[in-house]
Amino acid sequence: MTLSDFALVRPADVESAVAARRDHPQSRYVAGGTDLLVNMRHGIDGAAQLIDLSGIEELTCVKATLAGLRIGAGVKLGALARLPLIAERYRAVGEAATAVAGPGHRALGTVGGNLCLDTRCVYYNQSEWWRQANGYCLKHRGDICHVAPQGQRCHAAFTGDLAPALLALGAEVEIVGAAGRRRCPLAELYVEDGRAHLALAPDELVATVLLPPDPAPSAYGKVRVRGAIDYPLAGVAVALSVADGVAQRLRIALTGTNSRPIVLAGTDALIGRPVDEKALHEIERLVQKQVQPMRTTVASAQYRRLAAAGLARRLVASLAAS
Ligand SMILES: Cc1cc2nc3c(=O)[nH]c(=O)nc-3n(C[C@H](O)[C@H](O)[C@H](O)COP(=O)(O)OP(=O)(O)OC[C@H]3O[C@@H](n4cnc5c(N)ncnc54)[C@H](O)[C@@H]3O)c2cc1C
Ligand code: SF4
């Protein structure tokens, strides 16, 4: 699986990157390349021109202010996990960054690339000859979904580890495009569609992630086939603060089960109540009801549903206990 030929441009600032993308609609942004280049080798993500974001200083800044923490989209996952402020105040983010792939990937892979990585499916993340032998599929070159053949939607799963941790902590993103800069909650970056899961205009890029200054204590956990290095079959982040045994703030977000990372709805009803067996049971029920795993991985959908619910329960219980 050889890499196809492409031109490489290396803009020095965000505006030049956006202009290069606008002027060459067939081009793609590349950061660490640990997702995109693999897909290009598989023949599922071709581009005549790559716009390398790694030389843009603005994207590599991390800045703590009274308004919160700004993390440039080009910050490497390994470096992010090593920041003392992340370990002290945004633990789920550090745990999620450390849970991504292996050390080599984390040395290259970036925050922006992790938030924007492609959705995955066992029928899609295969070599060209494998997919051809299987008649391709809706997501690329084919006209049928092997997971849900009756439908016209791709159910490939979003499997980024960082997004749920950032969502649980109430992150926002700054997005830059030819039309200017805009800021929105991270949740609005995503759409429940395995073929087009990012709400970005073609020329837009994620420039910065913004975290609030006073987050609740948080944690991240995932289940995967291989403990050493693997995408999440299900990943859960929880942010929970408790006073006198009673929940004050609670947000739960999940990855690996849907075509986008999701924030669990219904947790507000648990605020002001003790984190007891009844509450934990309710959380498990909410997760099981809201996640929509499909047959897109080697593990069954039901296993991923139950694993997500069990992980959420375990993380909430351990945060409440600590
Ligand atoms: C063996 C293996 C195991 C892996 N395991 C995991 C895992 O467990 N968890 C996990 O989350 N990931 C995993 N990955 C995927 C990948 O390594 C990480 O998600 C990484 O963070 C991707 O970042 P990157 O900078 O390399 O992205 P790139 O490959 O450079 O880009 C990924 C996508 O994002 C787009 N993009 C990049 N930056 C921006 C930006 N600023 N704005 C808009 N679009 C942008 C690119 O155009 C591309 O479409 C694995 C990869 C491999 C090869
Ligand atoms: S969910 Fe269906 S359309 Fe999407 S990648 Fe898998 S087989 Fe293809």
* Ligand 1 center–CA 23 separation, angstroms: 24
Does the beta carbon of 109 lie inside 6 Å of ligand 1? yes
Instruction: Give residue 263's pLDDT.
Output: 98
Give the span between the Cα atoms of 32 and 38, in whole angstroms: 11
Instruction: Give residue 1's pLDDT.
Output: 80
Burial 62-86 (b: 16+ CB within 10 A, else e): beeeeebbbbbbbbbbbbbbebeeb
Does the beta carbon of 177 lie inside 6 Å of ligand 1? no
Give the span between the Cα atoms of 236 and 97, in whole angstroms: 13
Does the beta carbon of 44 lie inside 6 Å of ligand 2? no
Instruction: Give residue 45's pLDDT.
Output: 83
Give the span between the Cα atoms of 306 and 308, in whole angstroms: 5
| Parallel, antiparallel or unpaired: strands 27-30 and 49-52 | parallel
- Looking at the CA of 131, name the nearest ligand: 2
Give the span between the Cα atoms of 209 and 189, in whole angstroms: 12
Does the beta carbon of 137 lie inside 6 Å of ligand 2? yes
- 10 alpha-carbon distance from chain centroid: 25
* Ligand 1 center–CA 322 separation, angstroms: 33
Residue 250's closest CA among 234, 265, 261, 260? 265
Per-residue pLDDT of the chain (322 residues; tens, 9 = 90+): 888 899 999 999 999 999 999 999 999 999 999 999 999 999 998 899 999 999 999 999 999 999 999 999 999 999 999 999 999 999 999 999 999 999 999 999 999 999 999 999 999 999 999 999 999 999 999 999 999 999 999 999 999 999 999 999 999 999 999 999 999 999 999 999 999 999 999 999 999 999 999 999 999 999 999 998 999 999 999 999 999 999 999 999 999 999 999 999 999 999 999 999 999 999 999 999 999 999 999 999 999 999 999 999 999 999 999 9
Q: Which atom of ligand 2 is the closest one to the Cα of 119? A: 5
Instruction: Give residue 2's pLDDT.
Output: 85
Q: Which atom of ligand 2 is the closest one to the Cα of 145? A: 2
Does the beta carbon of 47 lie inside 6 Å of ligand 1? no
* Ligand 1 center–CA 117 separation, angstroms: 5
Q: Which atom of ligand 2 is the closest one to the Cα of 146? A: 7
- Taking the whole predicted model, whether its pTM rises above 0.85 is answered as yes
Pocket test for ligand 2, best of 137, 258, 259 (most atoms within 8 A of CB): 137
Q: Which atom of ligand 1 is the closest one to the Cα of 116? A: 34
Torsions phi, psi for 50 (to 5 deg): -105, 135
Give the span between the Cα atoms of 297 and 160, in whole angstroms: 15
Instruction: Give residue 106's pLDDT.
Output: 98
Instruction: Give residue 173's pLDDT.
Output: 98
- 162 alpha-carbon distance from chain centroid: 5
Q: Which atom of ligand 2 is the closest one to the Cα of 155? A: 1
Q: At what angle do helices 277-290 and 301-321 cross, to 10 degrees?
A: 150
The count of other CB atoms within 10 Å of the CB of residue 97 is 27
